Amino acid sequence: MVITLPLMAAIQIVSARIGFVTGRGLAANIKQRFPRWVLLGVVGLLLLANTLNIAADIAAMAEALRLLLGGSPHVYAVSFGLLCLVLQVFLPYQRYVRVLKWLTLCLLAYVAVAFTLKLDWWQVLDGSLRPRFANSHALLLTVVAVFGTTISPYLFFWQAGQEVEEVSPGQERSSAQLRRQLRRIKLDTVIGMSFSNLVAFFIILSTAATLHAAGIHDIQTSAQAAEALRPLAGELSFLLFSLGIIGTGLLAVPVLAGSAAYAVAEAAGWRGSLALRLDRGEGKGFYGVIAVATVGGVLLCFSPVDPVRALFWSAVLNGVIAVPIMAVMMLLASRRDLMGEHVIGRRLGLLGWIATALMALTVLAMLLTV
């Protein structure tokens, strides 16, 4: 998490700059500057990975609610899928974004879990600053999955799309206004990524201090994790963990479906925006992709697929496909004919290429040690 923070912040700033400066999302820029097979490959892999992610998140939410209230997880899965779909399609964009922003506070439940445990914080600090690595394929696979979860393609497309949403059609912007907004993007992204990595750190810490310490290593569902946590850490930790799963899923599913919709709509040449009104006949293709991705995720919840394994392998897939997308983004952000005077600077470019190279080397090492 310490290593990925500056790298993920840099690559997210790059994606946001591309969206804001050009007024087009990533897929639209890839479509304009690269061969069609590059565009179709990127968008197809993104849609596959996002649908698997949606399925795993919805299944996790359903199981967590079953633990708290009882009842059928399948009914809960359908209910959560419909709720996410209705909010995205019918809630006005500005109000919907405010809902998502406040919903991020639920992630603090994972931080609270760690503080309900009796931890040796000196040992935590030592383990964080001096990690012990084993040279194995399993470790490399896990590192790729961690990279795929933090430096993830769906976040690139979502943030670029959100910056496009903030640009009013036909709006003239001076260079001074652009520079001011780019500084805002940088600060916003650094704060957001720091919050994200802090939460991820506490999730890892809480898991290590409870489940792993008790010898519970084969967790197949998030509900199984929550149930195992109850006797080890108490009712409060169990409740916080379960609520965290539900809140995280409600936050993640719209972002996953929305980023897929941005990418497909831009690739197909459709209008793509959460500000479009379906009741006026706008954005049928865009909202259709959101519906397909969400419903596809719900249907996968009825399959015998282990949701935790699905989430893990979708993270690995994200880690693999992130590499070519990051390389394409860095090339786009360095083009003066596209970005004008707002091409990325030397420091941001260096961090972005280090992130791309590190991801590529890790993926290559994983493949070579199979």
Is 18:326 a contact under the CB 8 Å cutoff?
Answer: no
Residue in the structure block whose two tokens are 């991705």? 293
Residue 336 corresponds to which tokens in the numbers above? Answer: 């003066």
Residue 356 contacts residue 348 (beta carbons within 8 Å): no
How far lies 127's CA from each of 122, 147, 177, 328, 344, in Å? 9, 20, 45, 36, 36
Domain 4-368 carries which CATH code?
1.20.1740.10
Q: Do 258 and 91 meet the contact criterion of CB atoms below 8 Å apart?
A: no
Q: 284 CB contacts (<8 Å, ≥6 apart)?
A: 278
Residue 144 CA to residue 142 CA, distance in Å, equals 5
CA distance 31 to 98: 31
pLDDT of residue 168: 59
Q: What is the pLDDT of residue 250?
A: 82
What's the pLDDT score for residue 360? 94
What is the token pair recorded at 130?
């001096």
Looking at residue 55, what is its pLDDT?
Answer: 87
Position 229 scores a pLDDT of 66
- Per-10-residue mean pLDDT for the chain, 370 residues long? 87 91 88 89 87 86 82 90 86 72 74 80 85 79 89 88 72 71 89 88 83 75 67 68 78 87 90 78 87 89 76 86 91 88 89 93 89
Question: What pLDDT does 57 receive?
Answer: 85
Amino acid identity, position 113? V
In three state form, how does the secondary structure of the chain look? CCCHHHHHHHHHHHHHHHHHHHCCCHHHHHHHHCCHHHHHHHHHHHHHHHHHHHHHHHHHHHHHHHHHHCCCHHHHHHHHHHHHHHHHHHCCHHHHHHHHHHHHHHHHHHHHHHHCCCCCHHHHHHHHHCCCCCCCHHHHHHHHHHHHHHCCHHHHHHHHHHHHHCCCCCCCCCHHHHHHHHHHHHHHHHHHHHHHHHHHHHHHHHHHHHHHCCCCCCCCCHHHHHHHHHHHHCHHHHHHHHHHHHHHHHHHHHHHHHHHHHHHHHHHCCCCCCCCCHHHCCCHHHHHHHHHHHHHHHHHCCCCCCHHHHHHHHHHHHHHHHHHHHHHHHHHHCCHHHHHHHCCCHHHHHHHHHHHHHHHHHHHHHHHCC
